[in-house]
Amino acid sequence: MHPAARAYVARTLGDGTVWPRVAEVGGRNINGGVRDLVPHGRWWSVDLEAGPDVDAVGDCRVLRPPWPADLVVCCEVLEHTPDPKGVLLSATGYLAAGGRLLVTCAGPGRAPHSGHDGMAVREGEHYGNISDDELRRWMVDAGLVLVQVEDNPADCDTYGTGVKR
């Protein structure tokens, strides 16, 4: 995870709130995660590949956390899937009523990079930057009340947070 996205998580969730149950979509720690930034009780992470900080290996659209989550974090994942809206719908489905979803993703202008190791995109691997308009629309379609969606053009990022009705 690059510094600007990590800073968004710290800024957004750094108020000292302890989240009893956190689910993470795309939780394999490739170059730094966010667990240390989020005070929490239980943490469950799903990723397509086994690796550090992964509790369940598989498609987040099929697997579910063992409990309804108070917070779901989905950091630097949506640009790597051909179905970002479906991933966002599943992440929202993990939430308890009133739970919060936090998303960071590559925005317009970010150079393509692999979801496997952050290097060059491999043959057959999907990559597509996500605009703030797309993220906003998908979050609303998923039934979230938007807290904020923002574009960070300096770092080619898109961020969003929303609450499940």
pLDDT, tens only, 70-100: 999 999 999 999 999 999 999 999 999 999 9
Q: Where residue 18 falls among pLDDT bands split at 50, 70, 90? A: very high
Q: Which of 165, 162, 164, 157 is nearest to 7 (CA)?
A: 157
Cβ neighbours of residue 165 closer than 8 Å, sequence gap 6 or more: 97, 143, 144, 145
Mean local confidence (pLDDT), 111-131? 92
Mean local confidence (pLDDT), 9-15? 94
Q: What is the CATH number of the domain that holds 139?
A: 3.40.50.150
Confidence at residue 26, expressed as pLDDT on a 0 to 100 scale: 95
Confidence at residue 30, expressed as pLDDT on a 0 to 100 scale: 82
pLDDT above 90 covers a percentage of the chain that reads 90
* Domain containing residue 160: 3-164
β-pairing, 95-106 vs 144-152, is unpaired
CA distances from 96 to 8, 73, 91, 156 (A): 23, 14, 11, 31
Confidence at residue 116, expressed as pLDDT on a 0 to 100 scale: 85
How far, in whole angstroms, is CA 90 from its chain's centroid?
11
Q: Point out which residues pair with 50 in neighbouring strands.
A: none
Q: Where residue 39 falls among pLDDT bands split at 50, 70, 90? A: very high
Confidence at residue 152, expressed as pLDDT on a 0 to 100 scale: 97
Structure-model confidence comparison of residues 90 and 2, the more confident one = 90
Q: How many CA atoms lie within 13 A of 158 on its CB side?
A: 22
Q: Token pair for residue 93? A: 């489905």
Place of tokens 């689910």: 23
pTM value is: 0.95
* pLDDT over threshold 90, residue 32: no
Cα–Cα distance, 42 to 20 (Å, whole number) = 6
Q: Which of 29, 134, 18, 45 is nearest to 81 (CA)?
A: 134
Confidence at residue 34, expressed as pLDDT on a 0 to 100 scale: 94
Question: How many independent structural domains does the chain possess?
Answer: 1
